[in-house]
Amino acid sequence: MPIREYKNSESMGVSYPKNQPMRIYSSLWNADDWATRGGLVKTDWSQAPFSASYRNFNANACIPNSPSSCNSNTTTSTNSSWLNEELDNTSQERLKWVQKNYMVYNYCTDSKRFPQGFPADCLQNS
């Protein structure tokens, strides 16, 4: 279940990452002052070094063999039908539940970071 759905709103001037390969990364950083219940839970640095991994991760993706080989207009495989899928109502409700219960930070609600107004993708994807 994703934490954020990033809809394609190119027709409204919001850039969308559709023509480049995607990668998945993880990182660890000291976020004691904001990501740990407002600093209530401190990192126990005596337990370092830390490691991160993915469990039960299965990517169903187009693996490009040329820059345009994964464009949805040129992809004919039935295995790529997910390229045009959207979340149904049940999945949208699940996404909202995950966001409410697990999302620690959402830049689309950070008015201190964006005092002049939120980025366009926040307005389109809310």
Residue 109 belongs to domain spanning: 85-125
In a domain, 62, yes or no: no
In a domain, 44, yes or no: no
Q: What is the pLDDT of residues 14-63, one digit of tens each?
A: 888 777 666 777 666 777 776 666 677 777 888 888 777 778 877 776 66
pTM for the model stands at 0.45
In a domain, 5, yes or no: no
| CB 36, CB 42: distance < 8 Å | yes
In a domain, 100, yes or no: yes
In a domain, 61, yes or no: no
Q: What is the pLDDT of residues 65-95, one digit of tens each?
A: 666 666 555 444 555 566 667 788 998 898 8
Cα separations in angstroms, 40 against 26, 44, 110: 23, 12, 21
Number of domains in the chain: 1
